[in-house]
Structure 1
Amino acid sequence: MTLLQKLKQRFRRDSVTLDLHDIQALILRSRPEPYVGVHAMLHFNEADGARALLGRLAPHIASADNWSEDLDFWIGAALSFEGLKALGVPEAQLKTFPLPFQQGMAARSEQLRDFGPNAPENWDEVFKAGNCHLALTIYAVDDTALDKALATARAELDKSSGVTLLGEHRFGAPDGAKNPFGFRDSISQPAVDGSGVDPLPGEERAIKAGEFLLGYESENGQALGMPEPAALGKNGTFVVLRKYNSRVGCFNAFLKAHGETPDEHEHLAAKMFGRWRSGAPLTLSPDHDDPELGADPQRNNDFDFKDDPKGRVVPLGCHMRRLNPRDSELTLLTDVNIHRIIRRSSTFGPVYSEDVAPEDDAKGDRGLFFIFISARAYDTIEFMQQEWINRGNFVDLGEERDPIVGLHEDDGRFTIPQAPARKRIDGIQTFNVMKGGEYLFMPSLSAIQWLAAGSWG
């Protein structure tokens, strides 16, 4: 049974309270597994042509209501602030968007800790400030379906004037949902209240819809501020897109330098991620990988950290525990539920191999598009980058950084708590190098039509 079939079995229409017909499917519905797809970046040279393209694309963008049909692909669309400007959206309405979105990701490098090799001057040209106006994402179940979707999108683009295709990047994980390092990805996803899909074991409860969608009650009991008018803002959300090249060869070399046997390499890698490559969590399988557990959505996320407060099973500073501390005791007080995110990350390049060497990293052909969705997206990503990823104070680890996605301008350290003395492993490098990104707004389906019509008068 596929992931989508399992999701459909959990769907209960009688519990739906959201406007599913108006919400893009990419927000609430999981990607296929395995999956293939394309990210395409476009630039608007002329407003009328750009609006006409949006209008023609709109019927091809699936809603969260028709996801249960036998769709073999779906398209998502998101716009940058400069893209909205290029469409002709009036200044008065543009000013109702959050300031970080108005400024764009490149201008927020200080807040995002995008320094050194991750600095905007080193990004791919498509992501240089002001270039990307429209980001289209296509997910498909296989290459045949993807080619069909691409033909549809290209046919609409060929009819367009005043729009430039800056580039497209094919991605996919044909062996399941593995990231570039060979680990099962995107396991822990929040259940959204009112979406019709109940939480899985380990998710505790559904998170208020307003944490992910504009116009609904959030965890603080009120709707968050949204762009005006409501025709533009409601049922939309914000998206963070960050492209990384993954230095798989350096990661492999690091593991080999700190272990004598393949089992020791795998154990260290699991400690760094918080899970084994199959997705089995260390909490439930501390001594060895368990592929059957890793593949079971009823069990692979059903755990907490209450019996591991010191991180002796799952290190406090591992990647998984940093990005979702769950019930960990944090030195820096934080409401974890307002920092929950929906992840739609996508892997590109050859599948993982332990034979990849450091010299292979120069090709830049392996990596990850880190994509997340939240009504608080920009506050959340900047908080995560500053506190959870590139510092360790919140778990009493000082300046120690995330061992997988942290920026290590000098060789870093990773701490593995154990008795009688903790183990400190030096030589952590920047294993994922930032190659670009943007802050985006994903409108509702009706808002896309509103933008296409230039309804602001």
Structure 2
Amino acid sequence: MTVIERLKTLFNPEPVTLQLDDIQALILRSRPEPYVGLHAMLHIDDAAGGRALLGRLSAHIPSAAGWTEDRDAWIGVALSHAGLVALGLPDASLKSFPLPFQQGMAARAAQLRDTGSNAPEHWDAAFKPGTCHVALTIYARDDAALALAVARAMAELDAAQGVTLVATHRFGADADAKNPFGFRDSISQPAVAGSGVPALPGQERAIAAGEFILGEPSETGAPVAMPEPAVLGRNGSFVVLRKYESDVGAFNDFVRANADGEAAQEKLAAKLVGRWRSGAPLVLAPEHDDPALGADPQRNNGFDYAADPKGLMCPHAAHARRLNPRDSQLTILTDVNIHRIIRRSSTFGPKWTPDVTAADDGRGDRGIFFIFISARAYDTIEFLQQEWINRGNFIDLGTERDAMVGLHGDEPGSFTLPQQPARRRVQGLTTFNHLKGGEYLFMPSLSALRWIADAGWRESGG
């Protein structure tokens, strides 16, 4: 059963409290398995032309009211602050957005720890400051459906005046939905209160909708501050987009150098990630992979770390445990629920194979678009980058960085494997994912897109 099929069986319209018909479907709708898609980056040269394009595109964007329905393809649209400026929004509205969004991702490099090889001067041209005004994403079930959806979107773009297509990037994965390193991806997703889907196995409860949807009560009981006027902010959300080029060969070489034999290498790889390549969590399958468990959405996220306080099954430093500590005891007190995110990441490039070596890296043909949605997106990504990814104090590991997405720089890093009687530190970690660009984005509601398209602030005197 796929993710969408499972959600369809669980969806109940009775407890729905969200205005689903105004929320972009991409916020709540999981990608298909298998999936293909396209990211397109647009630059607005003429405000009126850009607004007209948004108006036409809005007719092709499905709402979350049908997020459990079968669809061959769907589209989502998000805007950068520079894009909102180019569209002509009034100054009062522009200043009502969070400061990190106003500044943009490149200007926040210091807060994001995007230094060295990850610094903005090394990013792709499409992500240079002020370049990406509109990010358009299309997900589809297969190449034929994608071709039709792309043709519709490009027809609208061709008819637009004053809008430039800066770049496109194809992505996709087969039914295993694995990332460039061969691991099943985006398994752990929060249940959103009021969406019609209850908390699933492994989830204590649904997370307050305001952690993801602007205008709704958050985990604190009050809504997160949103852009003004309300028609612009309500039912929207914020998006973090980061494009990574993956050094799959370096990862394979590291695993081979530090474990003897295929079984030991697979286990070390699983320890680095926190799951086996099938998606089976280490705390439920500590000794060997369990593909049936990994493929079962009713079980593959149904766990916590209560039975593994020392990290003997799943190391505290494992990527999955770092970014979702669940009930782990943390050295630095943190409310995990206000750092929950909805993942919409997309893989590109050849499928993982064990024979790839470091000699095959550096071509830019393998990687991942790390994309997530949250009402606190910018606070969350900067917290994650500073505390959970590029430091280890919160799990009493000092300067030890995330093995998978940490930036190790000129000094190779280490990875701590709790063992009995003494822990083992594996040395020689290098950076496996190199940042090639990104942007802070705002995903408006459907009514907000129409308000922007119609320059609604003129009618309201803004």
Q: State TM-score, norm by structure 1.
A: 0.99
CA offsets, 1:23-42, max 9 Å, x none? 00100111111100000000
Aligned to 2:311: 311
| Corresponding residue of 2:147 | 147
Where 2:457 maps in the other structure, the secondary structure is coil
Check if 1:331 corresponds to 2:319: no
**Residue 310 of structure 1: how far off its partner (Å):** 1.2
2-side partners of 1:205 and 1:293: how far apart? 22
Verify the 8 A CA contact 2:29 2:68 in the aligned structure 1. Answer: no
CA distance in 1, matches of 2:419, 2:363: 38
Give CA-to-partner distance per residue, 1:289-346, whole Å, 9 cap, x none.
Answer: 0000000011111111111111111101110010000001111100000000000000
- Give me the whole-angstrom Cα distance separating, in 2, the residues matched to 1:448 and 1:363: 38
- The 5-angstrom pairing of residues 152-171 of structure 1 reads 152-171=152-171
Deviations 1:30-78 (A, max 9, x none): 1111100000000000001000000000010011112233311000000
| CA distance in 2 between partners of 1:291 and 1:276 (Å) | 9
Number of the residue aligned with 2:431: 430
Report the Cα offset of residue 4 of structure 1: 1.4
User: What amino acid sits opposite 1:50 in the alignment?
Assistant: G
Deviation of the 1:159 alpha carbon = 0.3
CA distance in 2, matches of 1:201, 1:6: 12
SS for the counterpart of 1:363 is coil
Residue 394 of structure 1 corresponds to 394
Unaligned runs of 5+ in 1: none
TM-score normalised according to structure 2 size: 0.98
Aligned partners of 1:255, 1:419: CA distance in 2, in Å? 21
State the distance in 1 between where 2:246 and 2:392 align.
22
1:272 pairs with 2:269: no
The equivalent residue for 1:359 is 359
Match of 2:444 in 1: 443
Q: Give, in angstroms, the shift of residue 2 of structure 1.
A: 3.0
Q: In structure 1, how many angstroms separate the alpha carbons of the residues matched to 2:265 and 2:413? A: 18
Give the structure 2 partner of residue 189 of structure 1.
189
AA partner of residue 446 (structure 2): L
Matched, 1:215 2:220: no
Partner of 1:3 in structure 2? 3
Query: What does 1:26-425 align with in structure 2 at a 5 Å threshold?
Result: 26-409=26-409, 410-425=411-426
Give the number of aligned pairs: 457
Give 1:379's aligned amino acid: D
AA aligned opposite 2:117: P
Cα distance in structure 2, aligned partners of 1:181 and 1:224:
36
Using the alignment, how far apart are the partners of 1:186 and 1:335 within structure 2? 21
- Give, in whole Å, the separation in 2 of the partners of 1:150 and 1:270: 37
Is the partner of 1:100 in helix, strand or coil?
helix
Q: 2: distance between equivalents of 1:61 and 1:87?
A: 19
Give ranges in structure 2 of 5+ residues lacking alignment. Answer: none
SS in structure 1 opposite 2:157?
Answer: helix
Q: Is the 8 A contact 1:35 1:176 kept in 2?
A: no
Partner letter of residue 33 of structure 2? E
Q: Determine if contact 2:3/2:297 at 8 Å carries over to the other structure.
A: no
Structure 1 Cα separation of the partners of residues 3 and 388 of structure 2: 30
Query: Helix, strand or coil: the match of 1:16?
Result: coil
Q: CA–CA distance in 1 between the matches of 2:329 and 2:283?
A: 16
The 8 Å contact of residues 73 and 145 in structure 1, kept in 2 or not, is answered as yes
Shift of 1:200: 1.2
**Distance in 1 of aligned mates of 2:286 and 2:3:** 26
Q: Quote the Cα distance in structure 1 between the aligned partners of 2:205 and 2:412.
A: 40
What is the DSSP-based 3-state SS (H/G/I as helix, E as strand, rest coil) of the residue aligned with 2:66? coil
- Report if aligned partners of 2:171, 2:348 keep a CA contact under 8 Å in 1: yes
Q: Using the alignment, how far apart are the partners of 1:20 and 1:181 within structure 2?
A: 35
Cα root mean square deviation, aligned: 0.7
What do residues 407-444 of structure 1 show as CA deviations (whole Å, max 9, x unaligned)?
00110000001111000000011000000000000000
- Counterpart secondary structure, 1:277: coil
Amino acid at match of 1:388: W
Match of 1:12 in 2: 12
Runs of 4+ in 1 over 6 A off after TM superposition: none
Q: Do 1:22 and 1:63's aligned partners in 2 also have CA atoms closer than 8 Å?
A: yes
Shift of 1:19: 0.2
One-letter code aligned to 1:417? P
